Chain A
Amino acid sequence: MNLPANFSANIVDLITGGISFLLTLMVLSYLIGDNPAFRVAIYIFIGVGAGYVAAVVWHQVLDARLIKPLFSGSLADRLLTVVPLVMGLLLLLKLSPRTSRLGTPAMAFLVGVGAAVAVGGAVMGTLFPQTQASMNALELSAAGNYWLERLSEGVIMLAGTVTTLIYFHFGAKATATGPQRSKLVRVLSRVGQIFIAITFGALFAGVFVAAMTALIERWNFIITFLSTL
C-alpha cells in the first residue's frame, strides 16, 4: 500500500505531537502535586537530554577533534592530540580516590586557564566598560534635546549604583549600644535597598514573563495539536 508522503509526514507529526502532548500533560500534572507521571516525564527529559549531550560531545568533540586526528591526521595533528589525550586520561583518574592525585595537574591546568580567561574577560569586558558607562551617565552633550531625560536617568542610575554599593558596605563604628553604621550610611543604604528590591522585582518579572511565555507556547502547542486531530 502506497501511502502519500504527506500522510507519512502527518503520521510522524502525529506521533511526535502525541508524545509531546503527553509529556506536556505529565509535566503539568505537577499542579496537583508530585506524582509518578511528573517523575517519569522528568526522568525522560533528563535521560534524553544527557544522552543527547553525550552524543553531541562524542561526535563534535571527541571524535572530530581527538579520535580522527589521532588515527587519520597528519603527524602534527597526532602530536597535537597527544596532549589533550593524556590530560583527558589523567582527568579520568580523578574518578578513583587512589589515583585522583594523578589527575590534579590536568585539573589544575583547566582551572588555571579558565580562571585566567574569566578574570581577564571580566576586567576588560565588564569592569572597566561598566565603570566608564556609569561615569558617562551624566554626559548630557550626547543627549540633545532629551538632556532632561538623560539627566534624570543618569541621576537615578548614579543614585542607584552608589546607594546599592553603600548598602553592601558593612563597616561600622563602635558605640555604646554596639557597632553601628553612621546615620548617613544607614539612610543611603536604605535607598540602595530600595534599588535592590526593584532590581529583584525586575528579575522576578522577567522570570515570570519568560515562564508565562513558555506556558503560552505549550498551551498553543496543545491547542494546535488537538485542533489538528
Chain B
Amino acid sequence: MAGVLCPKCGKSNPAELENCKYCNAILTPNPASTPEAVPDQRLPLEPIPSSSSDSSGELPDWLSGLGKAASDDEEEIPDWLTSLRGEEASTSASESAATLEPTLNFTGSLSAGPGGKDWMARLANKAQTETPENAPEGGLQGEGESLDWLESLKSDSATPGQADQLSSPEDNEWIPAWPPGSPAGLKENKPDSSEEEYLPDWLSNLKEKATESETAPGEKDGTSAGSEKPGQVSNFGSSPGTPEAATGESTPEWLSNLEAKTGPELAMPARGSNGEIPASGAARNGTPSWLSQFQADANAAAEQNAKEERFEAAPPAPAKENGNGPLPDWLAGIKGSSTTSDGNPALIANKEGPAPQEKDDEAFSLEIPDWISKLKPEQEGEKIPEADAEPATTGNLAVSELPSWIQAMRPVESVVAEAKATLHDKPQVTEQNGPLAGLSGVLPVGPGLGALSKPPAYASTLQISDGQQRYAASFDRLIASETEPQEVKRTSLVSNRLLRWLIASLLILAVVLPLITKIPITPASTLQMPEMVKAFNLIDSLPANAAVLMVFDYDPALSGEMEAAAAPLMDHLLFKGPRLTLISTSPTGPALAERIMHEPNASPLVAGHNYQTGQQYVNLGYLAGGSSGVQFFAISPEEAAPFTMDGQPAWQLPPLQGIQELKDFGAIIVLTDNADSGRVWIEQAGPIIDNTPMLMVISAQVEPMILPYYNSGQIKGLVTGLVGGLAYGQVFLRPDGQTGLAQRYWNSFSAVALVAEILIVVGALWSFATGWRTRRSKAGEGV
C-alpha cells in the first residue's frame, strides 16, 4: 500500500498529502509505518504527530544529512562510531537485562524500518546495556535508528530506586496498556512475531544479550522494578545514577556533552521525544559547543529543581551500587534533571511541586539552537499528551487543557480515581445530633426540617390511675367469675318427668272436667274493667251502618283466646249493622278474619250474623310493609290496599263507599296478640285518625304493654283476653240470651287458674322448704 498512515487517527492517506484528510494531522512519510508497524505506533497515548517521517521532514539539514548518511551505507560509519560499537559489545549484558526487553520491543518495532543501521543499533545496545532500567523508546520509531542511542541515554537517568517508586500501581493506572490488549508492564515487553520480523540484527543480538542477562542475580531488583511498568515511565522516573556508572568513560566526549545538554529535555518518554530526534541526531556529527554549554545550563537548572522534588531524597544507593564508576559530568547533569520528575505523569501535573517550566526556560534561554527554539513551541503544542515524563515542557499544563481525544483515551480507572480523590478532598461533615450523630459524610439537614433531637423516651409500662386499677380489677373479677366452672346440680330425670306429668295432668283435669261436667267451680266474675266498659260504650255509640275498620293481627296459635275475647264485642258490633272493612298486617290474619266471620266453631255468635262479603263487609287482605305499610295505609288507604283478598277492586264496594281517609271510619278496632303490632297501629295510625276512636282486643299476654296506651288516651277502649271477653259478654246481653265462648270457657279457665295458683304456691313453698333445708344443712356442717 502506497499510502501513508496518519499517526493520529491511523487511517491511510495518499502519500502526496501532507495532512491527514480525516483528522487533518500532519502526515509524515514514515518508512516504518507499514501495516505491521502500525500497532506499535498507535499506542493509546501516542498520537505521535511527529513521527519519524515527520522528524525527517522537519529535521535540519545537518541532521537530515546525518540520518541519510547513517541509513545509506553502514560502511560509511566513522571510526569513532565503530570503536564505540566495539565497546558496546564488551559492555556487561547483565546490567541491562531487566529493562532490556521493553526497550527491545519498542526499539525493535520502531527500528523496523528499511534503513536499520547496525552501527546505530550497536550504539543503542551499548547505551541500553549500561542502563538496566532502559525503557521502551517508542519515540525512536521511524527514525529511531538515528536516536536509539540518545534515547537509551535518556533512559539511563532512571535509577532503580526511582523505578520502584514509579512502578506503583498509582503511577501506572493512567497509562493505558500498549500494545493494545496487553496490560501495562511486562506484557508489552514480550515481542510478538510481527515485531521480530522487523528486528534488525543489532536489536536481535541485543535481545539475546538481554535474555542472557535476565539470569544475572545482581540486577534482578532493578529489573523487576523496571519491568513492572512501561518503559517510558521507567525511563522517565529513572535516576541517572545508574547510567553514570554504566557509561563511565566509555562515552565519547562529544556524546557526553551532547547528552549533558539534552539530558533534562530528553528525559522524556522515548515516544514523546520524536520531535527532538533531529537535535539528538545532530549531535552525532560532532558535539557543538552550544550543546556543551546547554548541558551545563541544564544541569544548573535541574539542580535547582531537584531540591524541590519529593523524590530528591530517593536514595541513589542502588545506582551507586550498580554503578561501575563515577558519573560523568554530563550524566550528573542528567541526573539532576531527571530528579525533577516526581513520578507522576506529565499529564497529571504535580500541583505541589513547582513548575519547572520557568527554570527550564531560563536554561533554554541561554543557548538554544535555532532548531530547538523552533522545535520547542511546536512540540509543546503537539506533545503535551505525549510528554508523559517531560515536566520541563508540561509542568505548567493544567489537566483541563488536555485534548479531548486524550481525555477520551484515558482509562476509566484513572477517572474513577480522580473522582474518588475529589470526594475525599471534600470536607466531611460530622453529624452532631440525632440518630446519625458521630457519622461523617451525612447529608446536611434541609432547610425547614429543624434540628434533630433524640426522640422522647416513653415508659414501657402502662400508667394507670387507682380508679382505673379498681375498674380493671372489677372487670377481672367479673371475667373470672364467668369463667369459673360451676357445679351442676344433678336432679333426677325421672322426678322431673313425673313432676311434669303431674302438673300436666292436674292442668288437663282442671280444663277437661269443667268442660265435661259443666259444673261451675267459681262464680262468674262481675268485675267490669274501665277500659272494657269504654270499649262497650264506644261500640254501643256507633251509628248504624257505620264504617268500621277491623284489623286482625293475631296468629292462629292464639286464635282461641282472641276469638273468645273478640266475639262478644263483634257480636255487639254486628248488631249495629256496620260496614266492616277487614285488613291484616299478618299473612294469616285475613283467613282468621274470614273464620271468625263465618265459622260457627270459632264464634257462633258472630257467625250467626251471616255477614256477606262484598256487601256488608270487605276483606282487604294482607297489608305488606309492616310499619311503613301501616303508615301508608293510614295516609292513603285506597292506594295502600286497593284490592280485596279475592283480587277485586275494594274501594268500589259498598262497605267502602265514602271512605277516602282513615279518619273517615267510624271506629278502628285492632285485634292483636302482639304488643309490637298493636303499638305500630297506635304509633302510625293514631296521629292521623284524629277523633276516630281506636279500640283494641288484645291477648292477655300483651296487656301490660298495651294498657299504658289506654291510660294515655291513645286508644279509647280495651278488651283483654278471655276475662275481658267474659266481662264484655256480661255487659252486652244478647236478646236471645245466648252467651259466647267466654262463658263456656270460664269454668275451665277458673279451674285451671286455681290449679295453677295452687301449684305456684306449692311450688314456692317447696322451693322455700328445700332452700331452707339446704341452708340449714350447710349451717349444720359449718358448726
Contacts and interface: CB of A to CB of B under 8 A. Distances in A.
A183 to B, nearest CB: 19
Contact of A61 (B561, B624, B708, B712): B624
Contacts of B682: 125-126
Nearest to B563: A217
B708 A130 contact: yes
Contacts of B590: 56, 60
Q: Which of A49, A63, A113, A219 has the most CB of B within 10 A?
A: A219
Interface residues of B, number: 69
A52 B591 contact: yes
B610 to A, nearest CB: 16
A2 interface: no
B269 interface: no
Given A130-B712, A215-B752, A125 B684 contact: yes
B695 interface: no
B611 interface: no
User: By DSSP majority rule, is chain A's interface helix, strand, loop, or mixed?
Assistant: helix
Contacts of A33: 497
B627 interface: yes
A114 to B, nearest CB: 6
Interface string B409-435: 000000000000000000000000000
Contacts of A219: 508, 511-512, 515, 748
A216 B560 contact: yes
A224 to B, nearest CB: 8
B643 A64 contact: yes
Contacts of A118: 627
Given A125-B682, A178-B474, A210-B558, A57 B701 contact: no
Given A53-B587, A124-B683, A210-B561, A60 B702 contact: no
Nearest to A136: B712
Nearest to A153: B711
Interface in A187-227: 199, 202-203, 205-210, 212-221, 223-224
Interface stretch (B188-196, B363-371, B465-473, B540-548): B465-473
Contact of A202 (B500, B686, B704): B704
Contacts of B744: 220
Nearest to B557: A214
19 contacts: A49-B556, A49-B588, A56-B587, A56-B588, A63-B647, A113-B628, A121-B631, A121-B684, A122-B683, A126-B679, A129-B712, A174-B470, A178-B474, A179-B474, A206-B721, A209-B749, A212-B511, A217-B563, A219-B515
Given A60-B590, A129-B713, A215-B508, 5 more contacts: A133-B708, A133-B713, A199-B704, A203-B701, A212-B756
Contacts of A83: none
A216 B515 contact: yes
Contact of A209 (B515, B643, B753): B753
A49 B555 CA distance: 11
B771 interface: no
A129 B723 CA distance: 28
A59 interface: yes
Contacts of B645: 60
Given A31-B500, A210-B699, A217 B587 contact: no
**What are the 5 tightest A-B residue pairs by CB atom distance, in nearest-first order?**
A217-B560, A125-B683, A121-B683, A133-B712, A213-B561
Contact of B687 (A32, A64, A124): A124
Given A113-B628, A124-B687, A215 B507 contact: yes
Contacts of A49: 556, 588
A212 B621 contact: no
A172 to B, nearest CB: 10
A179 B473 CA distance: 11
B700 interface: yes
A117 interface: yes
Nearest to A129: B712
A174 B465 CA distance: 12
A189 B643 CA distance: 53
A145 interface: no
B517 to A, nearest CB: 11
B749 A213 contact: yes
Nearest to A125: B683
Contacts of B515: 216, 219-220, 223
A96 interface: no
A6 interface: no
Contacts of A199: 704
User: By DSSP majority rule, is chain B's interface helix, strand, loop, or mixed?
Assistant: helix
A217 to B, nearest CB: 3
Nearest to A212: B752
A122 B673 CA distance: 19
B601 interface: yes
Contacts of A206: 699-704, 721
A109 to B, nearest CB: 11
A212 B515 CA distance: 13
A8 interface: no
B745 interface: yes
A80 B752 CA distance: 56
Interface string A43-59: 00000010011001101
Contacts of B558: 210, 213-214
Contact of B588 (A52, A124, A217): A52
Nearest to A225: B601
B745 A64 contact: no
A31 B753 CA distance: 19
Contacts of A224: 601
A132 interface: yes
Contacts of B686: 125
B406 interface: no
B714 interface: yes
A191 to B, nearest CB: 18
B519 interface: no
Nearest to B590: A56
A68 B556 CA distance: 30
A56 B621 contact: yes
Contacts of A130: 708-709, 712
Contacts of B497: 33
Interface in A130-162: 130, 132-133
A207 B705 CA distance: 12
A126 B678 CA distance: 12
B2 interface: no
Contacts of A214: 557-558, 560-561
